[in-house]
Amino acid sequence: MERSTRPRRCGTWLGIGLLLALASACGSSDTGPSGATPSSMPTPRPSLPPPAPITWSPCPNGSTLRCATVSVPVDYQHPADGSIPLALTQSPALDGTDPRGTLVFNPGGPGESGNQILPVVLGLLPPEVRQQYDIVGFDPRGTGASEPLQCGTAPSAVTSVLPVPARPGKPLPGTPTFTAMARACAKQTSYEPFISTINTARDMDRIRQALGLSSISFYGMSYGTVLGATYADLFPRHVAMMVLDGAVDVNAPLTRQAIQQAPAAERSLTHLFATCVASSCPLGPDPASFYRSLTTSLSTHPLPAPGNGDTYPVTVGDLDTATLFALSVPAATSGYYAALLAARNGDGAPLRTQALELATDVNSAPLVDPQWAIACNDAADHPSPTTAGDLARTLATRTPLIGAYAVTYNMGGCVSWPQAREPVVDLHPKDTPPVLVIGNTGDPNTPLVGARHLAAIFPIASELTWQGWGHTWLVSGSSDTCMQQRITTYLSGGGLPPAGTVCS
């Protein structure tokens, strides 16, 4: 039985770019423009007949994976108005004689393709999990091969927006870009308002039904922890096991998430520079000074557009975006340092390439439109452009290296987005089985406080801490045997690790 969810959420958009790089390398409450607050009263929805059973067939890429589609309503309130085919991929359990169940995976984002990244994920999950579970990835509505939202926003238009207004009381500099994106998406299709986490959670339950299962297990990374928590809130009795890695503070408004992230990113960058100095740093003996100098240079004199169809000058926005990517994926730091040196010498193309890792999918398709559609359709509180701009200036004072970028990163696209129809808020799942929540001590974009707060919303949950740097355990520390053992034990039915367990 689905439980109604009252409005609000926020989000972090990192996931597939991180996994792809790893594979190749190896608050305040601000209303929107209308000032309206969504009603917290649930809207009754018509019941739906069960979906057709899934028919798997070999995927066209020649791998051992199997592919299928599941049809879901565009609007669950009016299911007769149209449907969307969701694209699914399955990797059967290696122990095919007696699989334990199905583990649905979401790589984060929001907006990334679960299908395109599944082959990488299979090499990162603990071997015993691969033995025991059928692993299912899917492209959430509006993404990948599931009716992707394509409004025409150039990824480099977003990576190049400046992070901080020049003066107090001025709007967030990216506001014109984000306003154009919101208008383009509104004109593109009437489907955009229904691209949201609540609807994706409903879609997941349709997938469960099509699989013929009474319950499913779930592994979600970063934004995937929002999706997992929402599914648990709506369908608690259909959850078997749930691992939430790189936990988002789901009940915090956008402003609070930005305030939480800014010092985490700053600490990560300081640590990165200290590590660089300890190993013949290519940026010289004082990389922080190098970084500040490059920030000043790009703020006053952006570098020419890279060309080849990319017409946007390379700015300090690209520097901040590329930096967060490098902090999130430690394996990407060598390319990052090379990009900084090239930018100092007048070539911004490598820096733009690094920044675009956060704005494009595995197949180079733009992610920015679906990312912001999901993030803003999940958030009840959309900050005004000037509120966001003032917060960026405040965080620039507190955390001067990269902290101000947390505003553009967490809420930039929402300053002009229409009010959400069915946002996510006040998640407190009831009647769920024990849940495993993972946080990293050095995570630059989902700080450890998010894991503590997320674990607290469940009736029974254990917070497992990985003492390491980078975004999520699976991306940054999948070889850690301490973590592998705890996760394997949990997913094998051996129970949660003791409270306060830390692996380093």
**Amino acid in position 265:** A
**Amino acid in position 125:** L
Is 332 within a domain? yes
Positive or negative: CA dihedral 420, 373, 267, 251:
positive
Give the per-residue pLDDT at 3. 45
The verdict on pTM exceeding 0.95 is: no
Give the per-residue pLDDT at 63. 80
Name the burial class of residue 358, with classes exposed (0-12), middle (13-18) and buried (19+) by CB atoms within 10 angstroms of its CB: buried
The string of pLDDT tens digits covering residues 227-278 is 999 999 999 999 999 999 999 999 999 999 999 999 999 999 999 999 999 9
Do both 119 and 166 map to the same domain? no
Is 96 within a domain? yes
Do both 175 and 246 map to the same domain? no
Number of domains observed in the structure of the chain: 2
List, in sequence order, the alpha helices (H) in 145-196.
155-159, 175-188
Mean pLDDT value of segment 471-487: 97
pLDDT band with cut points at 50, 70 and 90 for residue 205: very high
Give the per-residue pLDDT at 364. 82
Do both 444 and 410 map to the same domain? no
CA 276 to chain centre: 27
Is 42 within a domain? no
3-class DSSP state for residue 260?
helix
Do both 267 and 362 map to the same domain? yes
Name the burial class of residue 363, with classes exposed (0-12), middle (13-18) and buried (19+) by CB atoms within 10 angstroms of its CB: exposed
Domain end among 414, 442, 472: 414
Do both 402 and 496 map to the same domain? no
CA 425/CA 473 separation, integer angstroms: 26
Q: What is the mean pLDDT of the chain?
A: 91
Is 325 within a domain? yes
CATH code, domain with 138:
3.40.50.1820
Is 162 within a domain? yes
Do both 85 and 139 map to the same domain? yes
Give the per-residue pLDDT at 94. 93
Domain end among 360, 379, 414: 414
Do both 97 and 138 map to the same domain? yes
Domain end among 414, 440, 459: 414
Mean pLDDT value of segment 395-400: 98
Selection from 238, 234, 233 nearest residue 213 by Cα:
238
User: How many helices and strands (H and E) does the chain possess?
Assistant: 18, 10
Residue 78 has pLDDT above 80, yes or no: yes
The residue segments making up the domain with residue 447 are 16-31+57-147+199-252+430-503
Mean pLDDT value of segment 62-69: 91
3-class DSSP state for residue 240?
strand
Give the per-residue pLDDT at 9. 34
Residues 6+ apart with CB under 8 A from 466: 438, 439, 440, 441, 473, 476, 477, 480, 483, 502, 503, 504
CA angle 320, 322, 326 (to 5 degrees): 115
Give the per-residue pLDDT at 26. 42
Do both 217 and 235 map to the same domain? yes
Greater model confidence, 71 or 23: 71
Do both 99 and 140 map to the same domain? yes
Give the per-residue pLDDT at 61. 78
Do both 272 and 387 map to the same domain? yes
Is 224 within a domain? yes
Give the per-residue pLDDT at 20. 52
Residue 4 has pLDDT above 70, yes or no: no
The string of pLDDT tens digits covering residues 267-315 is 999 999 999 999 999 999 999 999 999 999 999 999 999 999 999 999 9
Query: Residue 319 has which token pair?
Result: 């520097």
Is 236 within a domain? yes
The string of pLDDT tens digits covering residues 13-56 is 455 455 555 544 443 333 333 333 333 334 556 789 999 999 99
Give the per-residue pLDDT at 98. 76
Do both 112 and 211 map to the same domain? yes
C-alpha dist (Å) from residue 207 to 43, 45, 148, 226, 365: 23, 19, 18, 18, 25
**Amino acid in position 460:** I
Residue 178 has pLDDT above 70, yes or no: yes
Do both 112 and 240 map to the same domain? yes
Is 437 within a domain? yes
